Amino acid sequence: MWHGPRLRLKPASVAAIAGCRADAIIHFFGIASDARFLCKSSSMNPLLIEFSQKLAPVLKARGFKKTGATWYRNLDRMIQVLNIQKSPYADNFYVNVGIYLKALGDELRPPEARCHFRFRAESVLGADERFELNRLLDFTQKAPTSDRYQDIQILLEKSALLWLDENSTEQALWKLLQTPDAHAFAVRKGARDFFSERYD
């Protein structure tokens, strides 16, 4: 018989617990308050979990907060998104980057796929560094150095993280759209229209 404190669970939490592993359910009752997060975490690939943990210090230092395999930085007029994606077929990874404009939506944790600006981290690197990052993200190949994660972090600081720092305002994004580099980014039509109406 249960002798602990009585718990009142929302229907969504009860449904989430039903799909959890036993260890996640125990953790939920003992410590955690969000069963849905536990279920998601418990089903994540161990290598994906390790990857996200290795990047945690540099991302937290920049103000990002994590949900699953996605990191969010909440700014005044936008949410910056960095998602770590594992291939379903092999131990290959991709780092997806997005910007969600608050003027065009009200999601607090938008998936990278629903962001208004999207790109892969390597697309803002030069050819040699792009090749190097892709090689490091392919875990089926032996790492060229002894610290794969450190090398990935350095290249991400030169690419995705630097880009996000430099394009943290609407004005910066609008200027970017006027340059030849704009073709490297997937930009939703609604975002283009928004900038044209606001800044043209």
Do 114 and 28 lie in a common domain? no
At 181 the pLDDT is 87
Do 72 and 143 lie in a common domain? yes
| Domains held by the chain: number | 2
Do 15 and 93 lie in a common domain? no
Do 80 and 122 lie in a common domain? yes
In degrees, rounded to 5, the angle at the alpha carbon of residue 138 between the alpha carbons of residues 180 and 136 is 70
Contact criterion met (CB below 8 Å) for 133 and 152:
yes
- 5 within some domain: no
**Each residue of 92-143: pLDDT tens digit?**
999 999 999 999 999 999 999 999 999 999 999 999 999 999 999 999 988 8
**Each residue of 4-49: pLDDT tens digit?**
445 454 444 444 434 443 333 333 333 333 333 334 444 678 999 9
How far apart are alpha carbons 44 and 50 in whole angstroms? 10
How crowded is residue 127: how many other Cβ atoms within 10 Å of its Cβ?
8
What residue numbers bound the domain in which 180 lies? Answer: 46-199
Of residues 64 and 14, more confidence is placed in 64
The answer, yes or no, to whether residue 150 has pLDDT greater than 50, is: yes
- 1 within some domain: no
In degrees, rounded to 5, the angle at the alpha carbon of residue 57 between the alpha carbons of residues 53 and 61 is 145
- Beta-bridged to residue 98, according to DSSP, are 81, 118
- 3 within some domain: no
Do 69 and 50 lie in a common domain? yes
Do 28 and 66 lie in a common domain? no
Do 60 and 158 lie in a common domain? yes
Q: Is the dihedral of CA 137, 143, 149, 150 positive or negative?
A: negative
Residues above pLDDT 70, as percent of the chain: 78
